[in-house]
């Protein structure tokens, strides 16, 4: 009898796991692109590149940073988004403490770092928490409101983070665009996701 109960419990657990939703399908809020959800993949200060698998939603350790640099802010992917490179749209976001990988957070865009990675457009949305999550950043409306040293730190990191090992894709930066441009990219990525995933 005990074995039957154990097997039943295991079966229920497995069926629940199979039915679990992909975190990248988490719905965007009605006021998107003013605010949007993203899943945290790499905490600020991290040196391990975690990536959310697009098919399963599982968080995978992709690689350790070869360059002696740590992520200057949290890094993740927007849910329900499809960027030009076929992946979810990337986001770099500031919080007062590093976020745990796998955590969903509602954010607000302040700009976009224009980037080419291996010849493909690979822009990074720059964001801060939505006011309801943390009002600390309420005065940071645009990328220009971020301290100059933070802007330089972001660019310095992405300029060098793939230089080792040799043979990695070349990264080129083309400065920042403002919050309005970031919102346009978010909206376009959301529309592309909805087109690919009609409901």
Q: Which residues are annotated as a binding site for Mg(2+)?
A: 85, 90, 122
User: 19: Cβ–Cβ under 8 A, 6 or more apart, which residues?
Assistant: none
- Binding residue numbers: 49, 63, 75, 85, 90, 122, 161
- Binding residue numbers for substrate: 49, 63, 75, 161
Dihedral Cα 27, 33, 36, 41, nearest 10 deg? 100
Between the alpha carbon of residue 141 and those of residues 24, 78, 133, 156, 180, the distances in Å are 26, 19, 16, 22, 10
Q: How many CA atoms lie within 13 A of 45 on its CB side?
A: 6
Token pair of 41, please? 């993949």
């Amino acid at each position: 009898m005990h074995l039957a109960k154990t097997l039943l419990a295991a079966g229920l657990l497995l069926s629940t796991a199979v039915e679990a939703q992909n975190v990248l399908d988490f719905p965007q809020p009605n006021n998107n692109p003013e605010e949007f959800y993203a899943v945290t993949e790499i905490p600020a200060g991290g040196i391990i590149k975690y990536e959310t698998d697009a098919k399963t939603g599982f968080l995978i350790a992709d690689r350790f940073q070869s360059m002696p640099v740590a992520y200057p802010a949290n890094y993740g992917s927007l849910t329900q988004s499809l960027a030009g490179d076929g992946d979810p749209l990337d986001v770099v976001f500031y919080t007062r403490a590093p976020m745990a990988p796998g955590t969903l957070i509602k954010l607000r865009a302040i700009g976009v770092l224009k980037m080419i990675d291996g010849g493909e457009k690979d822009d990074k949305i720059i964001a801060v928490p939505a006011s309801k999550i943390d009002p600390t950043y309420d005065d940071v409306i645009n990328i220009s409101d971020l301290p100059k040293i933070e802007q330089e730190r972001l660019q310095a990191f992405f300029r060098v983070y793939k230089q080792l090992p040799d043979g990695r894709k070349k990264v080129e930066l083309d400065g920042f665009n403002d919050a309005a441009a970031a919102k346009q990219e978010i909206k376009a990525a959301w529309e592309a996701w909805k087109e690919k995933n009609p409901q």
